[in-house]
Amino acid sequence: MDKRCKLCASDRVRIIYEGVIRTGGLDKYTEQDVPMFQCENCGVIWHDPMLKNIDEYYESKKYRASMDEGSEEEVFYRNHDRETLDKLQYTGTTIFRDRTVADIGCGAGAFLDFLKGVAKNIVAIEPSEAFQKILSRKGFAAYSYTSAALTDWENQVDTATSFDVIEHVEDPLNFMCETYKLLSDTGTAIIGTPTDAPLMRKLLGECYEKQILFSTQHLWIFSGESLKQLAKKAGFSRIEVRYFQRYGLENLLGWCIEKRPKAEIKETFFRQEMDAVWKSSCSTHQTADYVVLYAGK
Ligand SMILES: [Zn+2]
């Protein structure tokens, strides 16, 4: 195949899937088959972008609507407040006090709300116009894009976080380079993104890939290795990745029995201890569904 990896330029690229993929929320699919490519060198998975004017799409209300979320503030918190505990698990709590913190792709600022009163300055970066006003109202320094925030905050951010964003951007290297520029010399970037959930793919194959994993909004699925390579290319030097399992045993068994998402088995015989073992085993063996990059200058 005459195709090169869009990240590392390797010619060891193969098609790992060709069929309809999710477009927006659950049960909505593309009309045409979409080839998914994987680079055998860095491991990244991608498809060619199908959305025209991607910036405009994320600025408008269309994106939230396609995810069945809407752009209302309360709906955002209802959907995203629960993620904060996970995010604090990725970041710890010691890198925010009296520091300048930026969150890239922060939505209505659910995570940043928990840092208010702790961080010295809060920089909120979010393209959605509907959320811009909310972020300014909260007293955050709000910007549509990192490139705009750089005017005021270049080399000044101590902690830059970004969760579930890099897989949406057309040019992840540029995303990484801009994040690098935001950071102070001792600053740290923490960037989290879903993996290809290797264990779920192995167990469920195409039904998992089609219904949940591959989607038009996710232009990329990174591996730890591809994230590390990208960070290195952007100039970062202190680079590390860690894996986290977000979905628990209830989700795994629901999928195995019903072959569809949202089929969680809510039985009491799944004790917290079992769930903890499942999650830590996925993290240790790098088969978890989420990967977080930690990188400094
Ligand atoms: Zn590659």
What does pLDDT average to in each consecutive run of 10 residues of the chain (297 residues)? 88 96 91 96 92 76 73 91 97 98 98 97 95 96 98 98 97 98 98 96 95 95 96 97 96 94 82 91 97 97
Q: How far is the CA of 50 from the centre of ligand 1 (A)?
A: 20
Q: What pTM was estimated for this model as a whole?
A: 0.94
Q: How far is the CA of 102 from the centre of ligand 1 (A)?
A: 29
Strands 121-125 and 220-221, how do they pair? unpaired
Q: How far is the CA of 182 from the centre of ligand 1 (A)?
A: 26
Q: How far is the CA of 3 from the centre of ligand 1 (A)?
A: 11
Q: Read out DSSP for 27-93? A: T-B-SS-EEEEEETTT--EE-----SSHHHHHHSSHHHHHTT--S-HHHHHHHHTTHHHHHHHHH-S
Q: What is the pLDDT of residue 70?
A: 67
Contact 268, 211 (CB under 8 A): no
Q: How far is the CA of 173 from the centre of ligand 1 (A)?
A: 12
Q: How far is the CA of 254 from the centre of ligand 1 (A)?
A: 33
Q: How far is the CA of 38 from the centre of ligand 1 (A)?
A: 8
Smallest Cα–Cα separation from 101: which of 29, 157, 25? 157
Contact 150, 178 (CB under 8 A): yes
